[in-house]
Structures are given as structure tokens and as C-alpha cells.
């Protein structure tokens, strides 16, 4: 950036990943972040200013009321965000700001109306956000550790359950349902300051729908998919882990399906290195599964086979670049990615296995260690 250009964000950091990344400060209140070649400045209301001064990553944390008064005097009206940014930019000697694609059009037009240039930068707004440093890797490891324990607890409950005469799983005298397992996982995670939503505990034919969260009693001898991607409320970072299990005996067709998915994941793992093309990884995994006889097609309008991305990056958001799908996106050392090949068929059900990896200058490091046993 030149001396007259800044990066501008206006949002609440709890709902905006770029703002949280820039400031490492969680707040439900909207505030202003302006990064220049020399400094990072936060302008924030009295409600949060002392907390921001103590915990936010910024060179200066300034009171919004100061700039509100300056804007009121300059514009002779009760100022809005546009007027506050106008006087802030003039105070910092800026004539141009770069904003992310989700920036308010109203704010942008207002800032332009006061003679400033506003330009949009497509994501990733902060290129450095794709490359996790040691602190970020440690944060993901912590979230992984709690999530693996939650999934392990769910699998253990399924393992300990009795199989009723009708094939329904029962634990402690009650039916073991998707809702019960999910609730117990969420309770475990919240006690460790992790927040999960849309956790999948699906069973039987429901597993052929990738994002079906699951409902009702779990059954023996049928696939059960457990997919959990919580965010740590304390460090702000996600993870994403999936296991497929069967309580009892898996049908032969499902066993073969599971083996193919597991081998596909190992195949993809071998391709994880700096410079790897996400489109090529996805195409190779798709071809691998096709070569094993698992075709992707439709039956009565319902997709069958492998019909979603092979993987994706994550960090402050559950889905970040690089994506291993149809577009060319290249892996870099420092990316943290989830790899999740799968196969879904209406007659056998679904199998998905998902693990998390840190891409390094050498071989990728697998961050997840949870067992991958189909039958339990």
C-alpha cells in the first residue's frame, strides 16, 4: 500500500471473519478498522473501548465519540458511518481505501461522495489469512482435540448400546437417537468452550444425503455418519471431522464402499503439498473412485456416488481457500485443510471420512488421530 491508501473494515468481528482476523478481538458491536502502511487503527464505541485497548491487535484504539463529534462539526448533521470514515481518513492522510466484497454499498457510496476513492478487493482480503502461523495451528489443534473427544464419546455410546429385537440401539434403558447423541456431543463441547451447530448424526438411508443432520433412533447394522465442525469460542478457530461407523455387522457392499473411501482419502493425502492444484486433486479422487466401480450418476433425480468437493481449507471460517473442487486453487505451505471423500447411494447408504491436515514444505501433517474403524 502507498501512503495514501488504507484497508477498511466496518463490521462486528463476531460475524465477520476478516475483522476478527485483523483485530483478534471478538465483539458483537460494529466498529471501524483501518490499516495503513504505518499502523492499524480501531475506532470503537465507549461500550467496548477499554476491552479493545486491552485485547485487540491494533497500534491505536480511538474513541468513536471523538470522531463522531468531528464529523458532526464538519458535516453539520448527525453523522453516520460514512461521515465518521471521512474525517478519520482525512485525519490519517488517506485518500483511498480498499474494502472487501461484502462491504456496505451505502457506506461505499457515501465515502465516495466525500471525495475519496473506494476500491473492492476480492477474497482473500488478507492473503496472509490463508497461511496459518504457529499460534493459529495451535488453536486448530486445540479445537481438533476437543472435537475428537466429542466424536469418540459418541462412538463409544453407540458401541455400548444394546441391540433390541427390532434392531434399534438402546442405552441405559432408552432408545439411542440422533438427537440424544448430538445433544451429548454439544454439551461436551460447550463445556470446553466450543460451539457446534448442524452436527450430523445420521443413520441408514439418511446417510445418503450429505447434509441430513439425522433424526430418530439409531439402528444396528446400518451406516451412521457423525460429522462435527465446531468453532472454539476461546480461540476463534474451527475444525472439521467426520467418521462413519456401524454398530454390529456392516453389509458386504457397505464394507467395500468404506474401503474405497478410505483408500481415496489416503490417495488425496499423498497429493497434499505446496503447489498442488485443488482441481487436479478433486479430479484424481473422482477418477480413483470411478475406477473402483463407484460411478456418479442420478437415480430418480437423486444424486448417487461422489458429488461434492474433495476438501477445503478452514480456520476462522469453516470453509476457506483452497478448495479441492472444480476451480483451480493451489495449496500453499501453511494451509490447513479438510479432506472428505465420500460415496452416497440410496440402496447402501453413505460413507464419508474427513480428516484435517497442515500443509508443510514437506509431507502434509495429519492433525486428526481418531480411529477409522467401520464396525464397532
Please indicate, yes or no, whether residues 202 and 318 belong to a single structural domain of this protein: yes
CATH number of the domain within which 205 lies: 3.90.230.10
Please indicate, yes or no, whether residues 138 and 173 belong to a single structural domain of this protein: yes
Q: Where does a domain end: 79, 108, 129?
A: 129
Please indicate, yes or no, whether residues 150 and 183 belong to a single structural domain of this protein: yes
Total number of domains in the chain: 2
Please indicate, yes or no, whether residues 110 and 188 belong to a single structural domain of this protein: no
* Residue 323 is assigned to a structural domain of this protein: yes
How is residue 264 written as a grid cell?
A: 481415496
pLDDT at 363: 86
A 10 A CB-CB count for 326 gives: 11
Task: Tell me which residue range forms the domain holding 313.
Answer: 132-366
Element (H, E) at 324: strand 320-324
Q: Can you tell me the distance from the alpha carbon of 44 to that of 63, in angstroms, rounded to the nearest whole number?
A: 6
Helix (H, G, I), strand (E, B) or coil at 109: helix
CATH number of the domain within which 72 lies: 3.40.350.10
Helix (H, G, I), strand (E, B) or coil at 256: helix
How is residue 304 written as a grid cell?
A: 448417487
Please indicate, yes or no, whether residues 146 and 121 belong to a single structural domain of this protein: no
How is residue 207 written as a grid cell?
A: 446417510
Residue 68 makes CB contacts below 8 A (sequence gap 6+) with: 79, 84
pLDDT at 1: 64
Averaged over successive runs of 10 residues, the pLDDT of the chain (376 residues) comes to 88 98 97 98 98 98 98 96 98 98 98 98 97 98 99 99 98 98 99 98 98 99 99 98 99 99 98 98 99 97 98 98 98 99 98 99 96 98
Amino acid at each position: 500500500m502507498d501512503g495514501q491508501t488504507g484497508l477498511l473494515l466496518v463490521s462486528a468481528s463476531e460475524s465477520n471473519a476478516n475483522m476478527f482476523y485483523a483485530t483478534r478481538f471478538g465483539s458483537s458491536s460494529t466498529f471501524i478498522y483501518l490499516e495503513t502502511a504505518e499502523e492499524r487503527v480501531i475506532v470503537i464505541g465507549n461500550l467496548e473501548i477499554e476491552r479493545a485497548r486491552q485485547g485487540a491487535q491494533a497500534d491505536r484504539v480511538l474513541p468513536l465519540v471523538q470522531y463522531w463529534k468531528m464529523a458532526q462539526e464538519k458535516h453539520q448533521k448527525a453523522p453516520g458511518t460514512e461521515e465518521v470514515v471521512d474525517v478519520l481518513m482525512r485525519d490519517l492522510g488517506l485518500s483511498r481505501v480498499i474494502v472487501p466484497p461484502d462491504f456496505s454499498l451505502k457506506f461505499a457510496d457515501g465515502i465516495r461522495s466525500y471525495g475519496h476513492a473506494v476500491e473492492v478487493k476480492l477474497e482473500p482480503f488478507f492473503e496472509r489469512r490463508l497461511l496459518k502461523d504457529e499460534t493459529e495451528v495451535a488453536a486448530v489443534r486445540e479445537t481438533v482435540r476437543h472435537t475428537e473427544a466429542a466424536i469418540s464419546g459418541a462412538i463409544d455410546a453407540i458401541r455400548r448400546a444394546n441391540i433390541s429385537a427390532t434392531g434399534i440401539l438402546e442405552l441405559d434403558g432408552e432408545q439411542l437417537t440422533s438427537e440424544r447423541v448430538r445433544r451429548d456431543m454439544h454439551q461436551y463441547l460447550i463445556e470446553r468452550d466450543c460451539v457446534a451447530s448442524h452436527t450430523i448424526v445420521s443413520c441408514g438411508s439418511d446417510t445418503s444425503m450429505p447434509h441430513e443432520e439425522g433424526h430418530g433412533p439409531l439402528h444396528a447394522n446400518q451406516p451412521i455418519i457423525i460429522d462435527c465442525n465446531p468453532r472454539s469460542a476461546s480461540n476463534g478457530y474451527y475444525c472439521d471431522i467426520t467418521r462413519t461407523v456401524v454398530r454390529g455387522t456392516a453389509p458386504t457392499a457397505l464394507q467395500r464402499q468404506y474401503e474405497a473411501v478410505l483408500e481415496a482419502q489416503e490417495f488425496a493425502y499423498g497429493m497434499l503439498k505446496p503447489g498442488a492444484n485443488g482441481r487436479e486433486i478433486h479430479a484424481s479422487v473422482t477418477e480413483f473412485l470411478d475406477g473402483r466401480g463407484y460411478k456418479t450418476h442420478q437415480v430418480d433425480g437423486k444424486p448417487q456416488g461422489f458429488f461434492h468437493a474433495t476438501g477445503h481449507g478452514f480456520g476462522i471460517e469453516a470453509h476457506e481457500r483452497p478448495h479441492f473442487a472444480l476451480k483451480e486453487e493451489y495449496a500453499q505451505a501453511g494451509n490447513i485443510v479438510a479432506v472428505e471423500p465420500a460415496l452416497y447411494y440410496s440402496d447402501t447408504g453413505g460413507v464419508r471420512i474427513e480428516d484435517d491436515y497442515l500443509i508443510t514444505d514437506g509431507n502434509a501433517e495429519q492433525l486428526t488421530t481418531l480411529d477409522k474403524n467401520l464396525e464397532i
